[in-house]
Amino acid sequence: MTIVLLVVIYVAFVGLGIPDSLLGAAWPAMHADLGLPVSMGSVITMIVSCGTIVSSLASAAVINRFGTGRVTAFSTTLTALALLGFALAPNIAWLCALAIPLGLGAGSIDTALNNYVALHYKATHMNFLHCAYGVGVTISPFIMSVALSAGTWREGYLGATACQAAIALLTIAILPLWGKVAHVQETQGEKDVEPRTESPLRLVRRRDVRLACLVFLASVAIEGICNTWCTSYLVGARGMGAGEAAGMVTVYYVGVTAGRFLSGVLANRLSSKQLVGLGQAITLAAALVLLAPLPVSAAPAGLFLVGFGNSPLYPNMLHLTPRLFGRELSQSVIGVQMAASYVGSLAIAPLFGVVGQAFGFWLFPVALLVLGLVVTGAFLVLMRLKGWRPREYARRALGSRR
């Protein structure tokens, strides 16, 4: 039963990824059809992110009250209804209003399932969980491209709604399974601790929580900058053609997917701490490759390695949360970490756009290097604060696990 539940959780995480890349794929057709300026797409994205931050911060109290299964089913249903609303929306006011439940639903699913997998499954399962998210963000642009080639963006949203609705029905259908799995885990000696809800303000007063939030914020800021500005860097600073540069975002996401898949495999041999440390070493090396005066043909390799190196951090840091902060507090801490990660995406990437426009997008690898150093420094200080000594781990055989 635990394996069946894990498969459903993976499917729900596919559903989490479906809305995230849908607007970007649809927006060129949407804004022209609705007579909107291109910049309005950023407004909708910001509203979704704000909703996600709010639901992440409130997730501990909500999940403790209603349970992970009910919150997952309700939130998936909510995002399906929001996607249906996008398909039928007549104007920008409706799109902005519907962005609120879309963000609220996404934040609740993200926090609830990450904490559940961190508590009850192995690190390898957490890494594969985030691979499932990658499947979702890959599916939705494909759905939209098929719809646009044969019809309109509204049909693309209807197709995404059908996928999300099917996932929502699945999460509703297996609601009784959550209780059965909990009973099995209890009979096998895995006792569930009573979760403790802490206010976000109280949590962020703790130095260890602030360090963890800084790790998430800077790591996701790297993702946001690569996703948004790598094309501008390649065209403006490296002289690459616009068409060729546009495809480099795909190279970055291939690196992300490959990194999470490989870290899922290696999680059986290396600890989560080692995977994060190794990944950040690769990220820093990749930033130096992009910063070095190499031919432009080396840029795709650098982008791939940035995605590859940075990708293990998110799932492995989440898996470490119950061990670093205690099982009873993990739900509250994960909610704060999620909020910090969305702040990184919402604030740092647009800020770099302003800096790049003012001083030049040659600063792209500089920003990645600085953020990589912030991630690495905050991570090492946090691990030392929690008693981890990297040199001691380096002396152990690769097959050992902590």
Domain that includes residue 269, residue range: 200-394
Q: Write the CATH number for 34.
A: 1.20.1250.20
Task: For residues 178 and 209, state if they share a domain.
Answer: no
Listed residues 143, 158, 183: the one ending a domain: 183
- Say yes or no: 149 and 267 in one domain: no
Q: Are residues 252 and 350 in the same domain?
A: yes
Say if residue 91 is in the same domain as residue 170: yes
The answer to whether 304 and 251 are in contact (CB under 8 A) is yes
Count of domains in the chain? 2
What six digits make up the tokens of 270?
């290396």
CA–CA–CA angle 196, 210, 330 (5° rounding): 25
Q: Looking at the structure, do residues 47 and 75 belong to the same domain, yes or no? A: yes
Q: Would you write out the chain's pLDDT as a tens digit for each of its 402 residues?
A: 778 888 999 999 888 888 887 887 788 788 889 998 877 877 888 899 899 889 888 888 888 888 889 999 999 999 999 999 999 999 999 999 999 999 999 888 888 888 888 888 888 888 888 888 878 877 887 888 888 888 889 999 999 999 999 999 999 999 988 887 775 665 655 555 666 778 888 898 999 999 999 999 999 999 888 877 887 888 888 888 766 776 677 788 788 888 888 998 998 888 889 999 999 999 999 999 999 988 888 888 999 999 999 999 989 999 999 888 988 888 889 989 988 998 888 888 888 888 888 888 899 999 999 999 999 999 999 999 988 655 554 454 344 444
Instruction: Based on the fold, state whether residues 342 and 217 are members of the same structural domain.
Output: yes
Q: Is 36 left (phi over 0), alpha (psi -120 to 50) or beta?
A: beta
Instruction: With respect to residue 263, please indicate whether it lies within any of the assigned structural domains.
Output: yes
pTM, whole model, 2 decimals?
A: 0.80
**124 CB-near residues (< 8 Å, 6+ apart):** 264, 265, 267, 268
385 located within any domain: yes
Listing DSSP states for 297-351 in one string gives GGHHHHHHHHHHHHTTHHHHHHHHHHHHH-GGGHHHHHHHHHHHHHHIIIIIHHH
